[in-house]
Structure 1
């Protein structure tokens, strides 16, 4: 799996998840449960991961949605 986005914005995480779901792209939100440790302060970023085979399609979905500035640099 490869990291697509890293953010502290839980609304953005939800929106990106909905976009990927709409495009039938499986994804995983990593570090989502870290809020228990940090006390729900939003300090620790959540990471959205997609399968290696879906990276290009997922990146294009976010570009089309005007969220290209949120993408992690492509390796």
Structure 2
């Protein structure tokens, strides 16, 4: 799996999940339960993970929805 989106914004996470689900692209939200560890402050970002085979379609989907800049690209700078 690869990381598509990393954000603290629950609205963005929900929107991305909805877009992917409607397009038939399976996703998993990692670190969703970390808010328990941080005291529900929303400090730790959550990650939307997808299968690497769906990467191009998912990125295009986010771009078409106007949130393409939320996607993370593996250019070596997204550690």
**Shorter-chain TM band:** over 0.9
**Which residue of structure 1 aligns with residue 8 of structure 2?**
8
What aligned pairs does 1:51-66 form with structure 2 within 5 A after superposition?
A: 51-66=51-66
| Structure 2 residue runs without a partner (length 5+) | none
Residue 50 (1) aligns with residue 50 (2): yes
TM-score of the pair, normalised by structure 1: 0.96
- Please identify runs of 4+ aligned residues in structure 1 that moved more than 3 A: none
TM-score of the pair, normalised by structure 2: 0.91
Q: Offset at 1:37?
A: 0.3
**Which residue of structure 2 aligns with residue 30 of structure 1?**
30
* Bigger share in helix: 1
Alpha-carbon RMSD across the aligned residues, in angstroms, is 0.8
Number of aligned residue pairs: give it: 75
2:33 counterpart SS class: helix
Deviations 1:25-70, CA, capped at 9 Å, x for gaps = 0000000000100011000000001001101111111000001110
